[in-house]
Amino acid sequence: MNIFVCIKQVPDTEATLSVKNGKTINEDGIKWIISPYDEHAIEEALKLKAKIPETNVTLITLGPKRCENALRGGLAMGADHAIHIETDEHVDNRIIAKALAIAIKQEGNYNLIFIGKQAIDDDSYLTHIYLAENLGIPVSTNVTLFNYESEKVFVEREIDGGEKEKIEMTTPCVIGAAKGLNTPRYPSLMGMMKAKKIPIKKLSLQDLEIGEIDNKIIVEKLFAPPEKPQGKVIEGDIEDGVKELVKALKDEAKVL
């Protein structure tokens, strides 16, 4: 069985973000991580690999040179192979999905594709569904439970109000991983040693012959939202404080 996991390298959730040239983030001093939902995707692939003999897990990413580290991280968790579509160019989700689809098809057989339901930098919620539509295969997003049985996939996906949809798909299909699906493992020391020796397959957008790179979503400006002024902190007697608070919420803020 061949499983692909698409991952994206993003700034650490604790990183301080500042804007450079009004359009991109300042990358100086940023610690980069695998987007957390993609880590859930890797974990689910590795769990399945442990159950089904002769299963290969291949990681794939698109981005600049630094993204190699994300692939090394995933290999250290236990993935078998890695593909890096290397580009310094900013490309929109549609083009990313197209490139991923072509690269996956080039590898031959694919049974399952795991990918995070969103990347925590651009928060687009697009790539996984575009990828599935590109390949003409089923997709489920926001998946919190996954089961595989004889070429059929059963998932649960979280919808509004804490409800869940139970979904059936045939393979190949795309799974958009959400938190709640699993707890990603930490790479073992041995895993890290092993990961260093696995060659990463390098591809360029030109190699994939995706044609003209016609970005249609253009970022004009990136900026920090205005800060709220410091509010009112009530200290001292709690009973009076709560009374004051409720009165303020009702009369001043008018939210009750």
- The CA-atom distances, in angstroms, between 41 and each of 90, 117, 197, 222, 236 are 24, 9, 23, 29, 48
The tokens for 70 are 């994300």
Q: Considering the complex, state which of residue 100 and residue 195 has its C-beta at the smaller distance from another protein.
A: 100
The nearer residue to another protein, 32 or 192, going by C-beta atoms, is: 32
Residues 126-185 that bind another protein (CB under 8 A): 126, 129-130, 133-134, 137-142, 144, 156-170, 173, 178-180
Give the distance from CA 7 to its chain's centroid. Answer: 6
Q: Which is nearer to another protein, 109 or 180 (CB)?
A: 180
Whose tokens are 């650490």? That residue is: 12
Stretch that binds another protein, among 43-51, 54-62, 71-79, 243-251 (CB under 8 A): 243-251
- Other Cβ atoms within 10 Å of 222 Cβ, number: 13
Cis peptide before 172 (omega within 30 of 0): yes
| Per CB under 8 A, 19 contacts another protein | yes
- Minimum distance, C-beta of residue 98 to another protein, in the bound complex (Å): 10
Is 192 among the residues that bind another protein (CB under 8 A)? no
List, in order, residues 6 or more apart from 164 with CB less than 8 Å away.
144, 145, 156, 157, 158
From CA 104, how far away is CA 106, in angstroms rounded?
5
- By beta-carbon proximity to another protein, the closer residue of 204 and 215 is 215
**Can you tell me the distance from the alpha carbon of 144 to that of 46, in angstroms, rounded to the nearest whole number?**
16
- How many residues are there in the chain? 256
Q: Is 120 in the site for another protein (CB under 8 A)?
A: yes
- Interaction residues for another protein, span 33-52 (CB under 8 A): 36-37
For another protein (CB under 8 A), the number of binding residues is 78
For residue 80, the minimal CB distance to another protein (Å) is 27
Instruction: Kindly write out the interface string for residues 81-110 of this chain, putting x where it contacts another protein by CB under 8 A and - elsewhere.
Output: -----------x-x----------------
Handedness of CA 131, 136, 137, 138 (dihedral sign): positive
Site for another protein in 217-236 (CB under 8 A): 217-225, 228, 230-235
